[in-house]
Structure 1
Amino acid sequence: MINLPNSTKVCKQMPKEMFYKYLNFSESLKKLFIGEIEGIIWMNQISLETMIISPGEAVTEIAVYEISLNRQEINPNLLKILNREIDQHAIFIVRYEEWGKILCCGKETENDFKVDTCFQTSWMLHEDLILEIQGFDLDQVYENFLMQITGEKIPIENEAKAKVSHEKEEKLKKMAAAIRKIEAQMNSETLFVRQLKLMNDLKIAKEEIQVYRISKQVPVESFQPETMDLTLNTIETIHLILPNVVMKL
């Protein structure tokens, strides 16, 4: 079942016209959008503002949308365009009568998680769909959503995480070089007192590199806020749901 915290509920109907008017739809995709999609509801907003959760390195917000269909079919290109223009990581629940499936389109460009990737469940009774929050930060929550959709663990990556990883690798290289330098000095040093000093420096350096290797980011403290109360007109809706479009206007 779809089991998300009450504090994350938004339940706002999105005007269909907003999507095909402001998004870069071709005439053929516009006809598909009108013909296949009956309505779109912004169901949930999962973020630091709506529940107690630690921030992720790659994921800062997750939006859940329910899309009602006119028939039991949806063109994946429609979801890819919606996903591209939505600033948040998005999960789509599509419904036709009592049937449903959960879909997620990739946002990243690292490893196997690419922009043109679309993960989805099979069609099943809507009440049998599974989507629940598991994890201590938003990265873990999103990865577990992907696992609930695909049945497989799919790691996420982005430029920020790649940068952090690169910086850590460079720091480790410098620390290792410093250890080799101390070891070389010990081999050439003849004064016993100086050798003792270098031995102590070597011990400290090895302890520091070991600690740095296993170090993890300390989670940021979050809090329990009140449920979101959104009063949206059309332009505010566009700004919240499609910030990339607003920037183009």
Structure 2
Amino acid sequence: MLGLPKATELNKQLPKKAIYAKFKMNTAEKEKMDKDISRITIVNEVSPSKVSLSPGKEVQSFFVILVALKRKDYSEKTINTLSNLIPQNLILVLQYDDKAKLAIYRTKLLQTEWKSLNDLKIHLQGLDFDKVWENVVLQIAGMNLENGNSLDAQIEINSKKEKIKKEIEKLEKQARAEKQPKKKFALVSKIKKLKNDILMFK
């Protein structure tokens, strides 16, 4: 899966009941997970014994988990919970019908767009697992490190930019619909300021 080496492939079912029991989940937590997820399968283990890469100081291996979803409009909280329950570095392949997306948790849940499952690929770039994992996170987040930022700092900057962009979109919609010149001017001025704020991020 994901174009990873055949040596990494697994097909190990991860029963939800086992997760519920191991982490002592209460009834409400079980119901939330059961509402979104039908099946969990470990499909790849990427480790030094399976690929020609050196262990990193922080990352020695990672797993790819296929999560079969019951609904496309799943709760991100459920995916966050799953990511945080399993104490491993995880790439989650979220599949609904014939579409899938990749998700990874790094300070927040990062996701790709929906695609055909066969079109989802991950490239192992780097000399050791620390660098490879960093590049995996960047690939899934769809971003690059800028101005010497650390990975976590870049994620925070991108999150702030995205929040501002959404606010700009909302204000632009309001400005287009606004009939009163004075109010329209105020909205346009606010949009201009927010666009300048985005340029300030480094």
TM-score (norm 2): 0.67
Quick one: structure 1 residues 35 and 85, their matched pair in 2 at CA, closer, same or farther if it must change by over 3 Å? closer
CA distance in 2, matches of 1:75, 1:147: 23
The whole-number CA distance in structure 2 between the counterparts of 1:73 and 1:29 is 18
Q: Who is 2:141 aligned against?
A: 150
2-structure distance, mates of 1:65, 1:146: 15
Alignment-derived partner of residue 86 in structure 1 = 86
Deviation (angstroms), 1:37: 0.7
Gaps of at least 5 residues in structure 1 are: 107-113, 158-249
3-state DSSP of counterpart to 1:59: coil
* Cα distance between partner residues in 1 of 2:151 and 2:60: 13
Whether the 8 Å CA contact 2:59–2:130 is kept in 1: the answer is yes
**Deviates most, 123-132 or 61-70:** 123-132
1:45-84 superposed matches below 5 A: 45-84=45-84
- Is 1:7–2:7 an aligned residue pair? yes
Cα distance, 1:83 vs structure 2: 2.1
Once the two structures are superposed, residues 159-213 of structure 1 have per-residue CA deviations (whole angstroms, 9 ceiling, x without a partner) of xxxxxxxxxxxxxxxxxxxxxxxxxxxxxxxxxxxxxxxxxxxxxxxxxxxxxxx
The Cα of 1:22 is off from its aligned counterpart by 2.3
Contact map agreement 1:143 1:153 (CA 8 A) in 2: no
Establish whether residue 140 from structure 1 lines up as the match of residue 110 from structure 2: no
> Is the Cα–Cα contact under 8 Å of residues 112 and 142 in structure 2 kept in the other structure?
no
One-letter identity of the residue aligned with 1:100: A
The question of 1:124 aligning with 2:111 is answered no
Whole-Å separation in 1 of the counterparts to 2:122 and 2:26: 33
> Structure 1 vs Structure 2: percent identity of aligned residues?
28
Deviation at 1:156, TM superposition (A): 4.7
CA distance in 1, matches of 2:130, 2:151: 8
Partner amino acid, structure 2, of 1:126:
L
- How far is 1:69 from its partner? 0.8
Aligned to 1:23: 23
**Cα offset, 1:90, TM superposition:** 0.7
Partner of 2:198: none
Summarize the alignment of residues 175-190 of structure 1 with structure 2, pairs less than 5 Å apart: none
Q: Distance in 1 between matches of 2:67 and 2:83?
A: 13
Q: Which runs of 5+ in 2 are unaligned?
A: 153-202
Q: Verify the 8 A CA contact 2:35 2:70 in the aligned structure 1.
A: yes
- Structure with more relative contact order (C-alpha pairs < 8 Å, separation 6 or more): 1
Q: Max radius of gyration: which structure?
A: 1
**Residue in structure 2 matched with residue 98 of structure 1 by the alignment:** 98
89-98 vs 148-157, which moves further: 148-157
- Please, what TM-score do these two structures have when normalized by structure 1? 0.55
